[in-house]
Amino acid sequence: MTFDRSLKIAPSILAADFANFGAEIEAVEAQGADWIHVDVMDGHFVPNISFGATTCAAIRPHIKTVMDVHLMIAPVDPYIDAFADAGADILTAHVEAGPHIHRTLQAIRGAGMKAGVALNPGTPAQMIEHLLDLTDLVCVMTVNPGFGGQKFIDMTAKVRELRKMIGDRPIHIEIDGGVDPTTAPLVVEAGADILVAGSAVFKGGSVTNPAPYGANIRAIRTACA
Ligand code: DX5
Ligand code: ZN
């Protein structure tokens, strides 16, 4: 994975057909997805359960782009190797998930993955100031994590702060939650380069009718141009 700050759309398969992940991933990549965002939830750190490392391993062969795994679990450390074995390219842990995020990021890189750190809406940008040398991606949550299809919470001020803090370092700023053609330009203008979108990408389409996926992705891109 080479680093560049061009705008990338990362559809979240949380909004896909859970009985058909392989075909959904292939369809959305054929329709222009840059990365595939994979939401892992444990029913403890967040009030919902999605799936774990076994599912990630099963879908990995269907991903040609980048497997961007967002862990909404606590603890994280005991599971890092399982997600490395599953083939995650990027593994993102929440700063709120435990007392030793510094160690977690070291362990993620140590296991051969890119390391991401996610911030809940209530968590200030400064929480990651001393983690930047260990970080490849900062995920700014624009909803309280746990569910797809929630309303966007405006975090543009936080994105601006992070963009300044990051400077020339090769660190992505990813936005997750409530991204659509209306909200996307706000965060892109503030400095974000990776847009996760679940409902806004998968709405109206299916594996047998994938064209809406492409139209939805293009609508987000065009709104930000
Ligand atoms: C929220 C997840 C998001 C979610 C985004 O807990 O981390 O990735 O799937 O879904 P939308 O785009 O529908 O808000
Ligand atoms: Zn996510």
Residue 81: which CATH number? 3.20.20.70
Q: Domain for residue 100, yes or no?
A: yes
**Is residue 1 assigned to a domain?**
no
Closest atom of ligand 1 to 48 CA is 6
State how far the Cα of 27 lies from the Cα of 29, in Å rounded to an integer: 5
What integer pLDDT is reported at residue 72 of this predicted model?
99
- Is there a domain that residue 53 lies in? yes
User: How far apart, in whole angstroms, are the C-alpha atoms of residue 37 and residue 12?
Assistant: 5
Q: Which numbered ligand comes closest to the C-alpha of 150? A: 1
Instruction: Flag whether pLDDT at 187 surpasses 90.
Output: yes
> Could you read off the pLDDT of 94-138 as tens digits, one per residue?
999 999 999 999 999 999 999 999 999 999 999 999 999 999 999
Residue 131 lies in a domain: yes
Residue 3 lies in a domain: no
Q: Per the residue annotation, which of 39, 42, 68, 136 is the catalytic one?
A: 39
pLDDT for res 145: 98
| Mean pLDDT, residues 138-155 taken together | 98
Residue 2 lies in a domain: no
SS3 (DSSP) at 160 = helix
How many domains does one find in the chain?
A: 1
**Residue 39 designated active-site:** yes
pLDDT at 207: 98
The parent domain of residue 148 ranges over 8-224
| H runs (alpha helix) in 99-190 | 101-110, 156-166, 184-190
Cα–chain center distance at 172: 11
How large is the average pLDDT for residues 135-145? Answer: 98
The answer to whether residue 29 is domain-embedded is yes
For the beta carbon of residue 214, count every other beta carbon within 10 angstroms: 17
Instruction: Indicate if the pLDDT at residue 214 is higher than 90.
Output: yes
**164 Cβ contact list (under 8 Å, min separation 6):** none
Average pLDDT value for the chain: 98
pLDDT in tens, 35-87: 999 999 999 999 999 999 999 999 999 999 999 999 999 999 999 999 999 99
In a domain, 70, yes or no: yes
Going by alpha carbons, the residue nearest to atom 6 of ligand 1 is 145
pLDDT at 1: 82
Closest ligand 1 atom to 177 CA? 14
206 Cβ inside 6 Å of ligand 1:
no
Contact 42, 74 (CB under 8 A): yes
- Per-residue pLDDT at 195 exceeds 90: yes
11 lines ligand 1 (CB under 6 A): no
